[in-house]
Structure 1
Amino acid sequence: MRSGLPGAAKARGSTEKEKNALKLKERGREERGAYSTALHPGNAVCQEGRNAYETELDKRQSVESNIRGLGKVVDDTNITKLQLETEIEALEEELLFMKNHDEEVKGLEAQIAISGLTMEVDAHKSQDLSKIMADIWAQYEKLAQKNHEELDRGAEAKLTDLRHTLQALEIDLDAMKNQKISLEAGYDTQMEQLNGVLLHLESELTQTRAEGQQQNQEYEALMNIKVKPESETATYHRLL
């Protein structure tokens, strides 16, 4: 009877060690699962940060494109404005020349009227010549006045249109400049937001890596604890 007791004790000891080994295995599986679960939130944070970064980057590129396009429009408008100003200046010079020419013609007419014509012809021919000259001058004055009025009206109308066009162009130019300033301000704001997202993402990533490193160390320590009982169990089985 007594000879059977040591065998029973050995069997009970073996059973306890096997139970402990199974518990350690189960704990190892649970720890691995917890480690994997803990990593998922970090991955989610990284993905959310990456998505936010890409969204802000798309916005920034869109704003940059709008600013470049608006800058080109502003440059083209400035060129058109300079061309209009040059055209207006040339037209004003033309009007001034026409007015000066008209004054010169009137001065010449006055000189002719004062000095008269001296010709050695008989009285009859002199009267005919005077009448002819008067008719010619009358026709010339009438035609010159008509041409002058038409040219003056046309030039004034063209000048008025050009001034209106220039005024509208200046209004559009001011509006575009204000829009460009607004876009640049929005661009600066979005850049600040993007930098904030990047800093937050880097902080979250650093924290996630630190947590992952710590959990990895804990997991390795757990695996070392697990390996020891398994080794003892294997040794025990070999002894049996």
Structure 2
Amino acid sequence: MPPRARRAIKPPRSGLRLLPSARTSSASGDCPSSAAMSHPSGLRSGVSSTYYRRAFGPPPSLSPGAFSYSSSSRFSSSRLLGSASPGSSVRLGSFRSPRAGAGALLRLPSERLDFSMAEALNQEFLATRSNEKQELQELNDRFANFIEKVRFLEQQNAALRGELSQARGQEPARTDQLCQQELRELRRELELLGRERDRVQVERDGLAEDLAALKQRLEEETRKREDAEHSLVLFRKDVDDATLSRLELERKIESLMDEIEFLKKLHEEELRDLQMSVESQQVQQVEVEATVKPELTAALRDIRAQYESIAAKNLQEAEEWYKSKYADLSDAANRNHEALRQAKQEMNESRRQIQSLTCEVDGLRGTNEALLRQLRELEEQFALEAGGYQAGTARLEEELRQLKEEMARHLREYQELLNVKMALDIEIATYRKLLEGEESRFYCKPQETRRHLQNLAAKINTQVHCYKFYFSHKCKTQFC
């Protein structure tokens, strides 16, 4: 082949800038055969590239500026922060690999080449390579945006991790503070209840001592009352005996008075009889004196004097006996009357004492009943208060238990969120490694890289959205 014709069909340097990707892929460990096996267009591109080398010789040496977009993309991907919205996605379906067309055009039935078609092939190849460079630049920018989004999500993850650690550091302290405050209030209420119980016990002991003293006094007064009633019974018996004695003496006095009256009447009758007899004797004496001798008169006078002395003596003895009997009966009556008066005074005094003791016993009984009723009321009141305090203590213990359970549940949820976050961190790191690996393989398999990047971007967006929604919802639920 003449050199002039070879110079005429030699492709320009700018149009062959994609060919070093094959070297890059082989240098990074991906052979052309594996790239060709992974995709049909890659197979055609490898075949056409090998045939082109056999037809036109080795490719010209390329300057480092040919890969400026790749190095700049790597540098920008290592330092960019996320600014893309979560809803952004890569639309790579419109990317069309130029290698398939170039391979189809370069694929010839033999090793001989028609040089008349070189100019048209060169123009088409230049247009295809310029479009491929522009699409690769756009793909690199979108890939950088994805890396920025990943960095932004990492920053959000770090911020959420800080908020979570801060919340985990503050929430238990606040819960412990509330629990300690509740425990202090419960202890203070228990101390108040203990002091109130001690005071009530002291009052109860004092009331019990007063009640014992009142019971002892009541027993003494009851014993005194029984003694007084026994004495009263004895006094009543004595009074009855004295009354019977008085009645007996009164009957005796009446009988004696009747006897005295009878004796008086008898004496008066005897006196009248004697007087009548004396008068009759005097009359007879006068008559006798007148008729009888003086000796008979003297005898009658002696008889009359004798009868008069006998009558006077009998009258004097009767009067003395009556007076002695009357004096004895009067003394006995006076003695019985004095004893009766003393018995009546003692009975009245005993009755007054019994009434006063009865009133005092009734008052003490009423006081005892009032104290017992007050003691029962205090016991019921303290029982109700103790029941209320016990119910309040049980309620506060139940609230404390619920708070502890809720705190434990929150800690479990925080642990679950932390596990989810760690799993997402691991998945993001895995995606980052995959992205870096795909970035190194970017120049050898464009169509497979685009499809894989589309799937990877969709998966990253889905996982990031789910993670952000789940974590924000959990944080709002736990802290609000």
**TM-score if structure 2 supplies the norm length?**
0.39
How many residues were matched structurally? 227
Structure 1 match to 2:392: 197
Residue 325 of structure 2 aligns to a residue whose secondary structure is: helix
Q: Partner amino acid for 1:30?
A: Q
**Aligned mate of 1:171, from 349, 366, 369:** 366
User: Does residue 40 in structure 1 map to residue 108 in structure 2?
Assistant: no
CA drift at 1:142: 4.1
> 2-side partners of 1:21 and 1:59: how far apart?
57
Paired position in structure 2 for 1:180: 375
| Contact 1:91–1:159 (Cα < 8 Å) also in 2 | yes
Tell me the equivalent position of 2:114.
none
Alignment RMSD (CA, Å): 4.1
- 1:211 equivalent to 2:406? Answer yes
Alignment partner of 1:84 is 2:221:
yes
1:31-110 to 2 correspondences below 5 Å = 31-32=167-168, 33-108=170-245
Structure 1 residue 97: Cα displacement: 1.3
Over residues 184-204 of structure 1, what are the superposed CA-to-partner deviations in whole Å (9 max), with x where a residue is unaligned? 221231232122112202211
1:23 corresponds to? 159
Identity %: 15
With over 3 angstroms needed to count, the CA separation of the structure-2 counterparts of 1:197 and 1:58, relative to structure 1, is: farther
Asked whether the 8 Å contact 2:242–2:336 carries over to 1, the reply is no
Q: Are residues 125 and 208 of structure 1, via their aligned partners in 2, closer, same or farther at CA, if it must alter by over 3 Å?
A: same
Conserved 8 A contact 1:64-1:187: no
Corresponding residue number in structure 1 for 2:78 = 10
Structure with bigger gyration radius: 2
Give the superposition deviation at 1:87: 1.7
Q: Which moved more, 1:99-108 or 1:175-184?
A: 99-108
- Amino acid corresponding to residue 97 of structure 1 in structure 2: L
Preserved CA contact (<8 Å) 2:246 2:333: no
Q: Distance in 1 between matches of 2:246 and 2:337?
A: 13
Amino acid at match of 2:217: T
CA contact (8 A) 1:74 1:173 kept: yes
The residue identity in structure 1 corresponding to 2:345 is E
The correspondence of residues 114-125 of structure 1 with structure 2, limited to 5 A, is: 123=317
- Higher mean C-alpha deviation, range 37-46 or range 97-106: 37-46
Q: What is the aligned counterpart of 2:350 among 155, 166, 170?
A: 155
Question: CA separation in 1, counterparts of 2:210 and 2:75?
Answer: 99
* Shift in Å, 1:161: 0.7
Distance 2:174 2:236 in 1: 93
Q: Summarize deviations over 1:127-156 as a string: whole Å, max 9, x none.
A: 564355245324423432332232122212
Q: Distance in 1 between matches of 2:353 and 2:416?
A: 92
Measure the CA separation in 2 of the matches of 1:194 and 1:54: 12
| Letter paired with 1:165 | E
Distance 1:29 1:111 in 2: 120
Instruction: Structure 1: give runs of 5+ residues left out of the alignment.
Output: 117-121, 233-240
TM-score by length of 1: 0.70
> Deviation at 1:210?
1.2
1:31 & 1:204 partners in 2: Cα distance?
22
Please say if residues 95 and 155 of structure 1, whose CA atoms lie closer than 8 Å, have aligned partners that are also in contact.
yes
Deviates more, 1:143-152 or 1:1-10: 1-10
Task: Quote how far apart the aligned CAs of 1:24 are.
Answer: 5.3
| 1:9 CA displacement | 4.2
Give the direction of change, closer, same or farther, for the CA distance of 1:29–1:19 in structure 2 (3 Å limit): same
- Give the distance between the partners of 2:343 and 2:409, measured in 1 at CA: 97
Distance 2:177 2:236 in 1: 88
Question: What is the one-letter code of the residue matched to 1:91?
Answer: A
Task: Note closer, same or farther for the CA distance 1:180–1:191 as it changes in structure 2 (3 Å cut).
Answer: same
